[in-house]
Amino acid sequence: MNVRMSFPVADPNQAQSGAGIGRWMVIIFNNETNSTDEVVNILMVATKCDVEEAAIEMWEAHTFGKAPVHFASKEECEDAARIISSIGVATEVAREWND
């Protein structure tokens, strides 16, 4: 049996620009202070996601103690984390992958 596999080829122009390299993420942590509606609303404001995505992320944080809620550049993640933490939700900005 001869199986052929395809492999993605990196675009050299993209690699040179730094696009797609070093993505960051915002993590939120569950607390007993904020209501679920408050968390869903602030996630929609901070990350520009829809209500369904925000509700899933809020549920993950509530159920598992923390949840990743946004993936972007470090600066964009820091901005989102600042907005989310403005209502008292603990956040962390971290690299998506520890290379």
Residues 6-25 have pLDDT tens digits of 444 444 444 444 444 569 99
pTM of the prediction? 0.77
- The answer to whether residue 84 sits within a structural domain is yes
Q: Side by side, which strands form the sheet with 24-29?
A: 66-72, 24-29, 91-95
The shares of helix, strand and coil residues in the chain, as percent rounded to the nearest 5, are: 45, 20, 35
CA angle 28, 48, 31 (to 5 degrees): 20
Whole domain around residue 81: which residue ranges?
35-99
The reply to whether 19 falls in a domain is: no
73 assigned to some structural domain: yes
Q: How many domains are there within the chain? A: 1
Angle at 73 between CA 65 and CA 92, to 5 degrees: 25
**Per residue in 15-70, pLDDT tens?**
444 444 569 999 999 999 999 999 999 999 999 999 999 999 999 999 999 999 99
97 lies in some domain: yes
The answer as to whether 5 is a domain residue is no
d(CA 82, CA 66): 17
